[in-house]
Copies of this chain bind each other. A is one copy, B any other.
């Protein structure tokens, strides 16, 4: 079994998880393919394409996977006129640069996001997002006095993780139930909302943890900046082609045990979609952009014809 096959299997069986991790692992597998024997550049590119196809099919719903593969194939295409050796060398360095870029993206987003925060800001966040936590810690490190309001984020209470992490770090933290968002935004005079993203679509809509779209609605009504922070690897190439995003329905027992309400149907959707018109800006490792620029970023980075 080739390394690429193993990687594909690991992604399929979810041994490899997390958008960034999946992208990096897939790129490393393609990097290995570069060392395969090949008659010429064209033949090697063909091998990359086959490998890419295999990887993509391992988890068709993982948004970062086709992005990583497409990126590699796009670079390959640009270098298709090079000799085999030049091609190998150029590709190795391109892929490694890209991997490092991914690994540094979280840190970059932290720095850019923290720039947007002023001392005295009251910030609300929903659920538990790596990028948001990184931004808030960075702002705190820079000596800015901030206060953070966390929703508990039913049914899985991921907001408690955020609250614990930030309060342990020394940031004044307030926890509220999900229903108190609208009132508390007013009462605590919230200045900004920061959330992460699961997927960014090509029309600028953002898919994120259930409840995000109504936090955005409240922020809009109260003229509070609603800011999404996410690595560009989560921008959905597939959405350009109109593939509908399926909102995962999770086990009802996360909400309440069946025994307690035997006759009631419990529904438990995991994500919702926030329309681009409710989002003030998206922060990626490439900087701050309006949500409508998603189409452009996807085109520049990930649109492979392969």
Contacts and interface: CB of A to CB of B under 8 A. Distances in A.
Nearest to A218: B214
Contacts of A179: 126, 151, 153-154, 178, 209-211, 214
A121 to B, nearest CB: 11
A241 interface: yes
Contacts of A287: 202, 240-242, 295
Given A178-B177, A263-B167, A290-B204, A183 B244 contact: no
Contacts of A275: 280
A30 B33 CA distance: 44
A256 B177 CA distance: 10
By DSSP majority rule, is chain A's interface helix, strand, loop, or mixed? mixed
A85 interface: no
Interface residues of A, number: 87
A74 B213 CA distance: 40
Contacts of A260: 160
B167 A264 contact: yes
A118 B214 contact: no
A175 interface: yes
Interface string A259-303: 011011111110011011100110100111111111110000000
Interface in A53-81: none
Interface of A: 111-116, 118, 126, 150-155, 160, 163-164, 167-168, 172-184, 186-189, 201-204, 209-211, 213-214, 217-218, 221-223, 239-244, 247, 255-256, 260-261, 263-269, 272-273, 275-277, 280-281, 283, 286-296
